Structure 1
Amino acid sequence: MSNPKTKVSLSHRRPVLTVVIIEVLLLLAVFAAGAYATINELSYTSPVLISFIPIALVLMVYFTWKKKWNALGFRKLSSIPAAGWVYYSPLLLILVVISLKGMREIGVSEILFFIFFTLLVGFVEESIYRGLILKTLLPKGVKTAVITSSILFAITHVLNVLSGQDAFQTVLQIVYALLIGAVLALLMVKNNNIIPLILFHFIHNFIQFVGNDNSDAFIGYDLIILLVLVLYCIWLSFSLKKTPVSAGIDHAI
């Protein structure tokens, strides 16, 4: 019998409210950093650096303080069953396709910067969307958790409208982010390991940043990737229906 005096966390009592708070705080941090960078005419990567570095530090302190690293999927890769690795194979296909545009001329210092930058983004975004938000909503059901976390992940990419990007590219990126978010969320539910997701996120963004800026020529490839992602989501969804959700998932945040 549970102790009536045991303190129940906000995420247990109000999971939806918890998710709203997390998303609002993230958007406020990014908007504030963006405003500061615009006023001071800083580089286009500055808003992310200004907002994500302190967020990353807060997340690491919080995960350590609450001992949530393991519960949020920060586990050894060996914890993934041998049969589970096949579900990551389409991610490799996506990385191959986006790397086809080649690499622009770039110096070593810039490469090192983008390694740090994309690792930062991968850690923060996966920890928030496939970690905190997804796990908070899982008691509401896998479908609710996956769809909501994916939509919120896509919403953050609406900020690209402010960077002068054309409407078609913005819509394409939002849909792309929505499908990528769904795939990564389903993989998290499937194997309960966030490390492969962070690595994919990191490599994916790194290729995008150091690649040639010839997005118009690669619209066809983007559409192919979107089709792959749709089929990928269907495959993962059916696989979850056939097998139980990965054991040991801790919903408490």
Structure 2
Amino acid sequence: MGNRQTYLINQIVQYAYRLDQKGFVANHDGNISARFDDVLLATPTAVSKINITPEMILTLDQTGKKLEGLGKPFSEIQLHLLAYQARDNIKAVVHAHPPFATARGLVHLPLKPLLPEAIISIGAEIPVVPFAMPGENPELILTALSQADVFMLAGNGVLAVGENVEQAYLRLELLEHIAKIQFYAEQMGVPMALSEENLNVLLQKRASIGLSPAPKKSATRPVLLDNIKALIRAEIENTLDV
């Protein structure tokens, strides 16, 4: 195992632990993956994120089939495959259920960050993707990925992407932080709104540091939905046995 692969595995383990410690997951919730050359490294299904160890990290091919590792792939691997298909600059995906952002998704309430730092980091609006069963309506995910690096999934938490695991995790963490702040602000009164002029300045700054690129779609890496549905059935059967 090379140094880079070891580093990626350790990053996955580190941020899986942080998901648990921050209260962003419970039970077996959440999953993390990272692209490594022509394969994916990913957390296994049916394991609490606080208990993930380097030996548990799976190696998957580009259709989500396991090549190496303990345990089984998670059924939501299709979300990760869609992300890697959508944009070549996506190298890592984090999916979790942070409470405040997940709650907004449940009531279909997009988030417009009001703090300048957040707008620069994650954009002017965080969308909510309508509910869909795993493997259904992939175009909804692809559309969201063309607009944002982190977004809410109605009834299924938050999906964040990045050029590495740390960046994807921090985007998810920031979304939850802002969702919590704005929830409290809304209980106290009407939160301030930035002017269009100020908002445009912040978005220009975001673009100038490369955080607002036009997403590049891959010509390859097809998502094989039949294989994904087989994975979903396998996880359901595995969960019933746990």
- Larger RCO (CA within 8 A; separation ≥ 6): 1
Query: Which structure has the larger Rg?
Result: 1
Report which of the two has the higher share of helix.
1
Q: With structure 2 as the length reference, what TM-score do the two structures score? A: 0.29
Report which of the two has the higher share of strand.
2
